[in-house]
Amino acid sequence: MKKQFFRHLSFFACILTLVVLATACSNSAPTNGGIPTEEQRSAAIEALDSDVSSLGFWVDGVTYQFPMYVSDLTDNGWAFDSSTKSELKTLPANTLVAPAVAMRKKANDGYGATACAVQPVNKSTSETTLESARLYSLKFSKSDAPTLVLPSGITWDSTFEEVKDACKHKTAVDQNGIKYIQVKGGDSSYTVTINFDAETDTITTIEYQGRL
């Protein structure tokens, strides 16, 4: 009787372990911290322009181009939190300073669940839906672990000097523990700012912005 009890207990313990592992794999960020494999990095470099000022980027296997619309993200599996959708269904006309909100993407095709922060704007004279809005800013954080590659093969583990060498027409700041590189787009209306951790010398956030 005791042996049978322990066999049942062992069986349920195995099932519970499998459930926990499955949940972790489907809902958590990738264990590589967003650093692409060499195969992924090569695919991204091939898909992107070589110049960071092109403002193209590759995230979780998909190539994007800034400036962009909210729909460019939603069409590729990104979604707003339910609380955001209930509070911000539309944007009134001439909305230039909308709140920054989070968008998330579930684990898919070997990538983990990731997030980004967006700030939509509506410069038109009529109300628009959230999905139809343009983005004023789009920010990725290493802590959310999206598998991200920029032109020239820049990734989360790229150093300040490596990024500075790869970027043309940039502003590079390394002063009093603050380290960032800002690159203007072709018409100077859009920029990408790459921020670094002063201790590790690697990238912490990447933010694309337009002009209001």
Cβ neighbors of 207 (< 8 A, separation 6 or more) are 137, 138, 139, 140, 192, 193, 195
What pLDDT score does 31 carry? 56
Supply the pLDDT for residue 24: 37
Taking only the tens of pLDDT, the chain with its 212 residues reads 444 433 443 433 333 333 333 333 334 445 578 999 999 999 999 999 999 999 999 999 999 999 999 999 999 999 987 767 667 778 889 988 777 889 998 877 778 778 999 999 998 899 998 888 999 999 999 999 899 999 999 999 999 999 999 998 899 999 999 999 999 998 789 999 999 999 999 999 999 999 87
For 34, the token pair is 């967003």
| pLDDT confidence of residue 86 | 63
What pLDDT is recorded for position 106?
A: 84
Asked if 114 and 146 touch (Cβ cutoff 8 Å), the reply is: yes
d(CA 141, CA 135) in angstroms, rounded, equals 17
Give the residue among 41, 42, 19 at the shortest CA–CA distance from 32.
41
Distance CA 201, CA 153 (A): 17
Kindly give the pairing relationship between strand 56-59 and strand 62-65.
Answer: antiparallel
Query: H-helix or E-strand containing 111?
Result: none
Residues in Cβ contact with 184 at an 8 Å cutoff, skipping those fewer than 6 apart = 53, 169, 190, 191
Amino acid making up residue 93: A
